[in-house]
């Protein structure tokens, strides 16, 4: 029995719609990363982008557990002396809710050109409205599967 390897021309893509309202941040990020990478398909091949597109709505209503809203810090560095900025998750969730989710999902995708190609099919919106009705994204249930 031979191992099946997908070819880029054989990949069939579809779009999925995830609603972040009431979902736990990390679990939602895992679900989105699996869909972006294509690991939910039997034709998944590690070195080929077999993933689908993901549209996430209601990013501002994502849940976090424990004391993460105050204790989890997001850092960015400008490259200049004294240029380290730190911001707690609670503040960033109010200021840029889409970036919190994007940061979590990016950490679960390969950090190479293939991963950057996968992330181009990720669309995140803070509210329930999105501009991708033409792609007909299929709603994905909160659980596995």
Rounding to the nearest 10 degrees, give the CA dihedral for residues 27, 48, 115, 125. -60
What integer pLDDT is reported at residue 143 of this predicted model?
65
Domains of the chain, earliest start first: 15-139 (3.90.1180.10)
CA-nearest of 144, 123, 119 to 135 is 123
What integer pLDDT is reported at residue 22 of this predicted model?
95
CA separation for the pair 65, 56 (Å, rounded) = 20
What integer pLDDT is reported at residue 2 of this predicted model?
87
Query: pTM of this prediction?
Result: 0.91
What integer pLDDT is reported at residue 144 of this predicted model?
55
What integer pLDDT is reported at residue 3 of this predicted model?
87
pLDDT of the chain along its 145 residues, tens only?
Answer: 788 888 989 999 999 999 999 999 999 999 999 999 999 999 999 999 999 999 999 999 999 999 999 999 999 999 999 999 999 999 999 999 999 999 999 999 999 999 999 999 999 999 999 998 888 899 997 665 4
What integer pLDDT is reported at residue 109 of this predicted model?
97
Tokens for 89? 């998750």
What integer pLDDT is reported at residue 142 of this predicted model?
65
CA-nearest of 57, 68, 54, 55 to 26 is 68
What integer pLDDT is reported at residue 66 of this predicted model?
95
What integer pLDDT is reported at residue 141 of this predicted model?
79
């Amino acid at each position: 029995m031979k191992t099946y390897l997908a070819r880029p021309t054989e990949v069939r893509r579809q779009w999925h719609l995830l609603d972040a309202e009431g979902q736990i941040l990390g679990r939602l990020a895992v679900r989105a990363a699996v869909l972006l990478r294509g690991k939910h398909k039997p034709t998944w091949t590690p070195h080929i982008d077999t993933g689908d597109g993901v549209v996430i709505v209601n990013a501002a209503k994502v849940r976090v557990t424990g004391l993460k809203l105050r204790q989890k810090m997001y850092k960015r560095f400008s490259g200049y002396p004294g240029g380290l900025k730190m911001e707690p998750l609670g503040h960033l969730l109010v200021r840029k809710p889409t970036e919190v989710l994007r940061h979590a999902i990016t950490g679960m995708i390969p950090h190479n050109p293939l991963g950057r190609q996968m992330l181009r099919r990720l669309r995140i919106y803070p509210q329930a409205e999105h501009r991708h009705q033409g792609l007909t994204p299929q709603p994905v249930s909160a659980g596995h599967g």
